[in-house]
Every structure is written in structure tokens, then in C-alpha cells.
Chain A
Amino acid sequence: MGNTYLLFIPILPLIGFLINGLIGHKLNRKVVGTIGGATVLGSFILSLMTLFRILGDGNAVSYVAFHWITIADLDITFGFRIDQLSAVMINVITGVGFLIHVYSNGYMHEDKSVARFFAYLNLFVFSMLILVMADNIVLMFLGWEGVGLCSYLLIGFWYQDMFTKKLSNADAGKKAFIVNRVGDFGFLLAIFLIFMTFGTLNFEQLSHADMNIAGGLITAITLLLFLGATGKSAQIPLYIWLPDAMAGPTPVSALIHAATMVTAGIYMIGRLSFMFVHSETTMLTIAVIGTLTAVFSATMGLTQNDIKKVLAYSTVSQLGYMFMAMGVGAFSAGIFHLMTHAFFKALLFLGAGSVILACHHEQDMRKMGALKDKIPTTFWMFAIGSLALMGIPPFAGFFSKDDILARVFVEHKALWALGLVGAGMTAFYTARMVAMTFFGTSKMTKKQELHVHEPGISVRFVLIALGVLSAIGGLIGIPAALHGGAHFSHFLDPVFEAAQAHQGGHHHLSHLTEWILMVISIAVVATGGWLGFDIYSKEKSIRKNFVKHPIGGKLHHISYNKYYIDEIYDFVIVKSIMGGSKALWKFFDVTIIDGFVNFVADIVAFISGIMRKIQTGHTNSYAFSIFIGALGILIYIASRL
């Protein structure tokens, strides 16, 4: 029973949630913030302890709190199992989570409902921990739904806004919600199919199960799981909610929509890697979708003017790289990038938060500029984050992204080429963002400029901490070609052993090839970065000419409008469901006669002609409906006689 302490890793934030949620409004805001942060810090310390234990003997740690559901041979426990993979995850979640709690203390100090904010944030950390610590899929699903719920609550946090300027906060929450339903549908169906096929939902037992049964079924299961992953991790075609989710407070964007929740899909594939590798189709789908998302959203990042939108598209794109890695079986590379990305993207979001605060809640980069000397700490840390994102050695992003690209090169040359193009674009938009925000000439009024100030000490501390991690976090994964030990990947080996055994080991690149690949990618990144910086830090006419050029202007317009994907989705999905519901309602309650403007009108109008006669509120028409139903049943019975 020496593992009971594992229970406290998720329980501590839950306690924080309960205190802040129930009596937080009566407490001093400092107390609220301290409770919020301290509980997560406690979890972080316990997570570190667990990590060192696993580093020590390499054995997974597990703890079963109680048996949740036991029916015949099905045994679903409320239990946790921490192996190398989940050890990395819990440390990222609680570590970055703690820093973001500290940051929020400074960031949200003017907000009225700070208790509610910290309550949601703690509930999120709790759910996320359950998600990664669970030893079975059902418990994982509990966390999965929980994080979705918190994300929804936090996106709509500033709900008052929707009655004033930003009409979109509640709508953004709604979009996140609907899209995630689609993903959850896949996940749930997969759970039921897994149970039907293997008779167990426990990860440990599943990993020993015989996966060679019914090839089509395993593809169906893994594809459905992947559908769930695309919803949560914002991949094509379900990525549309993430950029809109930026309507929430910036610490939320950093924690949920960059560092942790959106990586849940990657984690799930890693957790079930032994299952995914049994379907070539699924693996290829993941690789292709990941690559397409990586490149596609990078192109959208090129033209956004809202600093948080740039980071949002960048997140979608980086998640694409992670999926790309998972798809080619480079699981540890994917998880490595997940971790480094958590560091530098959280840093970039929090840095952007400081910039936004400094500029009085201005998010449009066209109205910034020349902030370099006014907020130096923010600038330097933001720059480190940017270099890490671009993939400039020796910053964290370089090692992880290069690891992925090298592995993709072995499996699919075409995907590698696309990935490289994406990396170039990433460098471009990152440099563009830095240039527009911190360099060039200031676009602010004199009065605004006077108010530009560095954030408080706690915020700066967090930025520096994340800056250090982004700068050196990649060093634990230096590949052998650079005389490193690739410690990170070896650490994760036991988790992916089964999957890699099935793949029959992968071809190792010669060190020379690896060197060449590295040089190529550095060259592409440097070019992209230099272009982006050069064009946007000075008032170059090339930029204006591009927009004025007939084709260039169109391209810019399409990219800026995100390929009109939102509009298409709105028309096809939202309008049809809402339209369908309203139309049906009209059959049942004959109060509204107008309407029928949606595109299903013609079909429904015909049915409604019949239905309306029945659904009038008149008893005799209800009786008629019963009669029709009875007739239907009897006709069927008659056909069986």
C-alpha cells in the first residue's frame, strides 16, 4: 500500500476546486490564489517523487482506489497506473500547471470572479491528471470529458463580454463544445467496441491481449479513437474550435489550449500504441492528417494579425507534427515534442499575455511594435520561446522537431518534404510575430505608450522559469548523431516496447544522413525566419505589393479568412441540426408558422403537411397517431405470421 500517495496527486487540486468553488467567493483573493496554486504545487512535488522512483527502478507504479464496476469478467477499477509515459505527463501538467497558476495570480488580479476562475482551473488540473493517470479507458474517459467541460467553462469565462463588445465568447465555447461532441462520439464507440472485442478495458490487460484478431475491426477501433483524438487535439477536420477558444483568458489558453488538454489525443495514441500499430491504415491516416494539419494551419498562421490567433494556429500546426510522429511510429519523438512544446508554447502564450496587458488588452499586432526596450524581460523570454518554436538549435524545439522529421524521412519522403515546408512557414510566422510586436516602429498613441509596463514580479518569475525550460529542455533528448544519449527516448522505451516490436524495429539513419537532414532543416528554418523578420521589422514594400498583387492578394485573403472553413461548417452542420430541430418542433407544436427558411424546408414541408394534422394538441389527433403506430406494429406482426 506504499502507493497510496498517488491518490493525492489528483485529489489535491480537487480539494482546491471544492474550497474555491464552494466558499471561494467569501475568501480574500490572495487566499483563493494561494489555495489554487499550492494544491497544484503539492501535486507537482508528488509527481516529481513518482518520476524519480520510476527513473530509479524503471517499474511502473500503480494504485487501485476501489473497484468501480465489476460485472462477470469485466472489472473497471478506479485505479491509477504511472509508467514512464504518464510520469512525463503528470510532471508537465502539474509543473506547467503550477507556473500558470502563479502567473494567473498576477494576471487576473483585477477580475471580480477570481474564485470561480481558480476553481475551474483546479478542476481542470484534476481532470487532466485523471485522464493521464487512469489505468483503464473508462476512467480516462472521465478525465477526457472533465477537461472538455472545464475548457468549455473557461472559454466562456468572461461571459459578460458577450453582451458588450465580444459577441463571440459564448459562441466560441459552443463551437468547442459541438466539435468535441463529434470526437467524443468516436471515442465512446471505440470504447464499446474494445470491450466487445477484448472483453477488458484495462490498459495493462489490453496490452497483453491478442491484437491479431479481425483486422477490419482493429482498424475501425483505432480510427474511431483517432476521431476522438482529432476532436480534442484540434486536427483536420475538427480543428476549427481551437483558434476561437482564444476568447478565454490568456492563462487558460496557455494551460489548456497549448500545453496540456490539446495533447490528450497524442497521449491517448501513445497509451494505446500497441493497438494502433496493428492497423497500417490507421497509422497512415494519422501521419497524413497530422502532416496536412501541420502545413495547412501554418499557412493560416502566416497572415493572422491577432497575436493569440497566430499562436493558436501555431499550436494546431505543432500538434500536427506530433500526430505525424505518432503516425510513423516515432512515439517517443512525438511525446518529446509534446513536452518541449508545452514549455515553449506556454511561454509564448504567457508572454503574449504580458504584451496584451502592457498594451491595454490590445491583441492586434498591427497596433503594437517597438516594444523591445519597453518590456525587456518579456521580450527576451518571448524571443527564447520563439526560437524554440522555430527550431533553432540549441533551443528545445529544435531537438524534438528534428527528431520527428528524421523519423518521418525514413518512412515517407513526401510527408517529410511537406513537414519541412511547414517548418519553414513556422519560422516565418514566428519571426513575423516577433518583428511586428517588438521591432519596427511603434503604432501606439503617446498616451498608450506611457502606460506600457513590465508585468509584476510573479509573472516575470514564471516567464523566466519557462524560458529556462524552453532553452535547455531539449537537451535531455540530444540524438546520438550529436553525441547525445537520446535519454528521453530511452526512458520511454519500456512503454512503446510492444508497439515497436510489432513494427519490427525501424531503420536507423546513418549519422551522416542525420547530419545532412539537420543542416537542411536548419537552412529552411533560418531562411523562413530571416524572411519573416526582414519583411515585417521594416516597412518593406514587398509586403504591400504582395497584398496588392492580384494573385498574391487573393492568397492573402483566403489565408486570412482561414479558407472559409468556419462558414462551411456552420452551413453544413450547425444550420442543419438546428434547422432540423426547429422544424421538428413545429410539427409538434403548431404555434409558429413562419420560418422554414433552412435548406431542408422542401423535404420537411411535405412531411409537416401530414404531421401537422396529427400534432395539433388535439386529443383525437394524438389518438390517431397511436392508431397509426398500432397499425404499423400489427402490419409487421402480420408479415411474420
Chain B
Amino acid sequence: MQFQAIYPGSLLVAAAILVLMAQSFVKGEKKLTISLIISLIGVILAIFFTFKLFGVNESFYENALRVDDFGVFLSLVALIGTALTILISAGYLKKVKSYYTEYYALILLAACGMVFLTISGDLITFLIGLEIMSISIYILAGFNRESKKSNEAAMKYFILGAFSTGFLLFGMSMVYGATGEIVISEIGKAEKSAGMLIGLGLMLVGFLFKIGAVPFQNWVPDVYEGAPTPITAFMAAGVKTAGFAAFVRIILIAFQNCGEEWHTILQVIAVLSMIVGNVVAISQRNIKRLLAYSSIAHTGYMLLAFAAAKSDPNMASSSILFYLFTYTFTVIGAFGILIYSGRENLDDFAGFAHQKRFMGIAMTVFFFSLAGIPSTAGFMGKLFIFMTAIDQKLYWASVIGIITSMISVFYYLRVVVYLYMKPEVTRAAPLTDWNVAIASAVSVIGVFVLGLIPQSVIQLILTTYQSMLQ
């Protein structure tokens, strides 16, 4: 059994090595196709073996890994995000005529880091998973070597990431000093102490940086804009999912006795993130930047539910999990259309829906979902979040959340207005790219399934909090 726990991660590494080796044997465009196929097979196998881990709920390797439904579910979400990212990357690499297949290898390695993040049972595994993921992403962010912006993004992300990891490590050592434990579930049994609390504060800084919450968000717009678009999507979906997975687990289990403290801090951060993200997004005309601010706001919504976890951890973690799932489809879909169209500016999208009818519809669906229009996944996600928050009497934070999400509908719908209601700009319609089209179709289906018939997913999620405790 304990080997099965590391099947998904190992498969991803194996696929990465295969991709790297393959480039010695094939040349040119074929190289891309081969790497794409290897990567997809690797991820799909990883998904398959992750799926088999449902219901295991055990710790392995001296508690280094904690395989429970919570981690397994988020592994799946991250891996689905990875698969979609690989598909839209294929379109991107073809468009920018880049033949460096290390790109795929790095994505697979990052995904391996994500898998270990989601099922980490102690702080060491957590840190290693985090670094495997982060370092791969730093390189990927700067992958577009010709572009100054891409280089700058990678550099900024790297320096600030290192800075924030410093806080994280310092916090971890404080916690170890206070409790003498590195196993997450054991730390949770310790009494509340000054060392624990300082450790909590420092670790929060590291986490909040990774998920891009205010005031640790400054890097988000610059890095999202500069990085290659598929990598931006990967950051918004995969990195955020894996980051939240470890964040929720460590806070809810290891710091369960410090509820009062993180409850207050998270509530404040949630409010700030929702306000800054949504208000600043209004003035953005570059859609990548707009989605960057939007991602800050979405982090804020999830933190709002997180703050409610003090009194109802089950519903809170369930709504975060559900939200991450919805957000993965929505945001990768949206970035996929940006790649497909080869455009980034709002004005360039004028009349796009008349040029490419189905892509226009898909983009409309994704932006509706981001806005939380009923019948899409985004609505269902927000419904859970706000229900949880209000049920736990976080009235003011929820009111601010609802007001800012009402404001957000304005800038999301403005994109749709440009798609349909502005005269076409005279630009050649983009060529059809099947990889991106498939990713978009899958995402559209995901958005509607989670919006209209979410019941089976909800059933799965509702027991995940319990699985962490077993």
C-alpha cells in the first residue's frame, strides 16, 4: 500500500525524465508532439492512480505522507489543472514557435511537487513539495527568454518567493522549537504557546504570499502578466490549489488550538483581498492583468470561508475545496482562450465572438463563471462560500464580499460586451488549434457540470474534513 501512495508522484517524475530523454532522439516539431503525448499520458496515469487512493485515509513513511480524501481530492484537482495546462501549452508553444521541450518536463516536475504538497504529513515533506513546485514555476515564468517582461517576472517571483520561504522556514522552526514535533497531526495535539503563535504568524506570511493575498500580492499582477500565458493559468489554478491544500491542512490540523488568532487574521486579509482585487481590476485593460487582480479577489473569497473554519471546519474546508475545483476549470479555460486568440488587450477582443463563434461562447461561459452568474460553477462556489460565512455569523466580511463581488460582475461582463457588442477590429481570425479547443470544451463542460449537477462532487467533498482527522 505504501508504494501506491507515491505512484502518482513517481509517474510524473518518470514522464519528466522521458520527455527530457526524448529530445535526444527526435528533432523539430515532432519533438513537441512526442513530449506532449508523453506528458499527457503521464498525467492521466497519475490521475488514475490518485483516484485509486480515495478512501485509504492512512499515514505512510513514518507520517511523512498523509494520504486522505482531502489530499487526494486536491491532488486530483491539481492534476486536472496540469492536464489542461499541458493542452493549452501545446497551442502556445506552437504559436510562439518554441521547441524547448524542457518546458513540459518542468510542468510535470511542478505537478509532482503539487502532489506531495497536497498529501504532506509532516513539515519536511511539505517544504520539499513546495520547493519542487516553486522552483519549477520560477523557471517556467521566465521561459520566454526573448521577452524582457518574462525575465523580469521570473526574477521577481524568485526573489520574493525566496523571501517569503524564509518566513515560512523561520515559522516552522519556531513551531518545532515549541512542540518538538514536525508531524502535522502531532503538532495539533500540543498546547497553545508563544512559540506556536509566533510560528503561526510567520508561516501565515509564507502561505499568504504563495496564494497571493493582500498585502502579499504585489508580485501577482507583474508575474501573471509577464509569464507565458499557460504558466499564468498553471499558477492561478495548480499552484493555488496545492498552496491551499497545505495551508488548510496545516492551519486546521496543526494549529487547531490557535483558532482565535488565525480566524481574526484571515478575516482581515480576506476583506482586504476582496476589496483590492475587485476594485483595482476595474481599471485593467490587459486581460492577463485583469485576471491577476481577479485571482487576488478569488483568494479573498476562499479566505473568507477559511475564517469561518474556526466554528465549522467541515463546511469551510468543503467550500474551499469546491471553490478550487470550480476555479481550476474557469481560469484555465479563460487563459486558454487568450492563447487561442493570441490577444491580451480588452480592445483587441472587440467582436471576437463574431469571428470565432464557439470560442466566443466558451469565453462568455468562463467569464460568467468568474462573475458568479447562476447555473455556472462560479455561482455554486460563491454560494457555498457565502452561506458558510454567514452561517458562522461573519456578517460584515460577508457583506463586503458580496458588495465587491457585485462590483466584479461589472468588469467581467465588460469583457463579454466587448466580445459581442463592439464592432470587429480588423484582425485575422486565429487559426484553429485543437489542443486548446479540447481544453476549452472540457472546461466548459466542467463549469456547467459543477454549476448544474454538482451533487456527486459535493458528496465526495463533505467527508474530506473528517478524513483528515481519522
Contact of A625 among B156, B215, B280, B387 (CB under 8 A): B215
**A640 lies within 8 A of B374 (CB):** no
Leading 8 A-B pairs by shortest Cβ distance = A142-B374, A581-B282, A585-B283, A622-B218, A159-B421, A629-B215, A192-B390, A637-B201
Q: Which residue of B lies closest to A162 (CB)?
A: B421
CB-CB contacts below 8 Å: B206-250 with A: 208-209, 215-216, 218-219, 221-222
Known A578-B282, A625-B216; further 12 A-B contacts with Cβ < 8 A: A149-B373, A181-B406, A185-B406, A192-B386, A193-B390, A195-B391, A582-B283, A614-B218, A617-B222, A619-B155, A622-B160, A634-B202
Chain B: interface residue total (CB-CB under 8 A): 66
Indicate whether A181 sits within 8 Å of B205 (C-beta atoms), given known contacts A138-B383, A619-B160: no
Contact with B along A169-192 (1 / 0, CB 8 A): 010010001100110110011001
**A625 near B218 (CB under 8 angstroms)?**
yes
Say if the beta carbon of B260 comes within 8 Å of chain A. Answer: yes
B156, closest chain A residue (CB): A619
Contacts of B167 in A (CB 8 A): 626, 630
Q: A159-B421, A177-B413, A623-B159 are in contact. Are A634 and B403 (CB under 8 A)?
A: no
Known: A584-B276, A622-B219. A69 touches B283 (CB 8 A): no
Q: Which residues of B contact A615 (CB under 8 A)?
A: 218
Q: Min CB distance, A500 to chain B, in Å?
A: 31
Instruction: Determine if A329 is an interface residue (Cβ-Cβ < 8 Å).
Output: no
A-contact bits for B411-429, CB 8 A (1 contact / 0 none): 0010001001111000000
When A195-B387, A578-B282 are in contact, do A626 and B205 touch as well, CB less than 8 Å? yes
**Is B254 an interface residue, CB under 8 A from the partner?**
no
What residues of chain A lie closer than 8 Å to B410, measured between beta carbons? 177-178, 181
Interface residues of B in 388-442 (CB under 8 A from A): 390-391, 398-399, 402-403, 406-407, 409-410, 413, 417, 420-423
Question: In whole Å, how far is B325's beta carbon from the nearest beta carbon of chain A?
Answer: 14
A52 in contact (CB, < 8 A):
no
For the complex, give the distance between the alpha carbons of A160 and B200 in Å. 56
Residue of B at shortest CB range from A193?
Answer: B390
What distance in Å separates the Cβ of B79 from its nearest Cβ neighbour in chain A? 25
Verify if A564 is at the interface (C-beta below 8 Å from B).
no
Of A160, A185, A626, A637, the contact of B403 (CB 8 Å cutoff): A185
Q: Which residues of A contact B169 (CB under 8 A)?
A: none
B interface: dominant SS: helix
- Interface 9-mer from B39-47, B49-57, B109-117, B453-461: B453-461
**Taking the complex as formed, is B284 at the interface, i.e. its CB lies under 8 A from any CB of chain A?**
yes
Q: In the bound complex, do residue B205 and residue A588 qualify as a contact, i.e. CB atoms below 8 Å apart?
A: no
- For the complex, is B261 an interface residue (Cβ under 8 Å from A)? yes
Q: How far is the CB of B245 from chain A (nearest CB, A)?
A: 21
Question: Across the interface, which residues of A come within 8 angstroms of B4, CB to CB?
Answer: none
Q: Are B208 and A629 in contact (CB under 8 A)?
A: yes
Residues of B within 8 A of A195 (CB): 387, 390-391
Contact assessment for B453 and A66 in the assembled complex, using a CB-CB cutoff below 8 Å: yes
> A380: CB under 8 A from chain B?
no
Contact partners of B215 in chain A: CB under 8 A: 625-626, 628-629, 632
Most B CB within 10 A of own CB, among A69, A178, A184, A582: A69
Return B316 CB to nearest CB of chain A, in Å: 13
A323 to B433 alpha-carbon distance, docked (Å): 54
Known: A619-B160, A630-B167. A640 touches B260 (CB 8 A): yes
Tell me if B197 is interfacial: C-beta within 8 Å of chain A.
yes
Q: A619 to B159, Cβ gap below 8 A?
A: yes
User: Quick check: is A214 within 8 A (CB to CB) of the other chain?
Assistant: no
Which of B163, B204, B221, B403 sits near A588, CB closer than 8 Å? Answer: B221
In the docked arrangement, what's the CA distance between A379 and B403, Å?
47
Question: Hey, which chain B residues are within 8 Å of A185, CB to CB?
Answer: 402-403, 406
- Given the complex of chains A and B, what is the CA–CA distance between A629 and B413 in angstroms? 33
Across the interface, which residues of B come within 8 angstroms of A634, CB to CB? 198, 201-202
Bound together, the chains give a CA A22 to CA B358 distance in angstroms of: 8
Contact of B163 with A623 in the complex, beta carbons under 8 Å:
yes
Chain B 449-470 near chain A by CB (<8 Å), digits 1 or 0: 0001111001100100000000
A149-161 Cβ-contact flags toward B at 8 Å (1 or 0): 1001100100110
B residues near A (Cβ < 8 Å) are 155-156, 159-160, 163-164, 167, 194, 197-198, 200-202, 204-205, 208-209, 215-216, 218-219, 221-222, 260-261, 264-265, 276, 279-280, 282-284, 315, 357, 373-375, 379-380, 383, 386-387, 390-391, 398-399, 402-403, 406-407, 409-410, 413, 417, 420-423, 452-455, 458-459, 462
Contact with B along A572-598 (1 / 0, CB 8 A): 000001101110110011000000000
Closest CB-CB distance, A504 to chain B, in whole Å?
33
Residues of B within 8 A of A614 (CB): 218
A633 close to B204 (CB less than 8 A)? yes
Bound-state Cα–Cα, A473 to B459, Å: 50
B210 nearest CB across to chain A (Å): 12
Which positions in A face B, CB cutoff 8 Å?
Answer: 22, 66-71, 78, 138, 141-142, 145-146, 149, 152-153, 156, 159-160, 163, 170, 173, 177-178, 181-182, 184-185, 188-189, 192-193, 195-196, 577-578, 580-582, 584-585, 588-589, 614-615, 617, 619, 621-623, 625-626, 628-630, 632-634, 636-637, 640-641
A159–B219 alpha-carbon span in the complex (Å) = 38
| Closest Cβ neighbor of A143 among chain B residues | B374
Assembled-state Cα–Cα distance A637/B195 (Å): 11
A312 to B77, CA, bound (A): 50
Name the residue of chain A whose CB is nearest to the CB of B159: A619
| CB neighbours of A181 from chain B (8 A) | 406-407, 409-410
What residues on B are CB-neighbors of A170 within 8 Å? 417, 421
A70-B455, A577-B407, A622-B219 given; A633·B421 CB < 8 A: no
Complex interface: chain B residues within 8 A of A640 (CB): 197, 260-261
Shortest Cβ distance from residue B162 to the other chain A in the assembled complex, whole angstroms: 10
Docked Cα-Cα span, A381 to B209, in Å, equals: 67
Check A636/B280 contact, CB under 8 A, given A195-B387, A626-B215, A629-B205.
no
Contacts of B357 in A (CB 8 A): 22
Contact A585 to B284, CB < 8 A, known contacts A163-B423, A622-B219: yes
Shortest distance in angstroms between A218's beta carbon and chain B's nearest beta carbon?
16
Cα of A479 to Cα of B252 in the assembled complex, Å: 65
Residues of A close to B421: CB separation below 8 A? 156, 159, 170
Residue pair A630, B280 in contact (C-beta under 8 Å): no
Instruction: Report chain B residues within 8 Å CB of A625.
Output: 215-216, 218
Complex CA–CA separation, A145 to B453 (angstroms): 19
On whether the beta carbons of B458 and A70 are closer than 8 Å, the reply is yes
Contact A142 B375 (CB under 8 A): yes
Known: A619-B155, A623-B160. Contact between A637 and B453, CB under 8 A? no
Q: Do B194 and A641 have beta carbons less than 8 Å apart?
A: yes
Contact residues in B for A177 (Cβ distance below 8 Å): 409-410, 413
How far does the alpha carbon of A434 sit from the alpha carbon of B172 in the complex, in Å? 80
Q: Which residues of B contact A184 (CB under 8 A)?
A: 406
In the bound complex, residues from chain B placing their C-beta under 8 Å from that of A588 are 218, 221, 280
Known A-B contacts A196-B391, A622-B218, A626-B209; the reply to A160 vs B423 at CB < 8 A is yes
Q: Are A636 and B265 in contact (CB under 8 A)?
A: yes
Interface centre among B164, B198, B205, B453 (most CB of A within 10 A): B205
Which B residues are in CB contact (< 8 Å) with A146? Answer: 374-375
- What residue of chain B has the Cβ atom nearest to residue A578's Cβ? B282
**What CA separation (Å) do A576 and B151 show in the bound complex?**
37
A614 to B399, CA, bound (A): 29
Which chain B residues border A632 with CB–CB below 8 Å? 215
B contact residues around A581 at 8 Å (CB): 279-280, 282-283
Closest to A163 in B: B423
Across the interface, do A633 and B265 meet the contact criterion of CB distance under 8 Å? yes
Considering only CB atoms, which chain B residue lies closest to A138 in the complex? B383
Q: Given A184-B406, A630-B167, answer yes or no on A69-B458 (Cβ-Cβ < 8 Å).
A: yes
22 A-B pairs, CB-CB below 8 angstroms? A70-B459, A71-B315, A71-B458, A145-B373, A146-B374, A177-B410, A189-B390, A195-B387, A196-B391, A582-B282, A584-B280, A584-B283, A623-B160, A625-B215, A625-B216, A626-B216, A629-B208, A630-B202, A632-B215, A634-B201, A634-B202, A641-B197
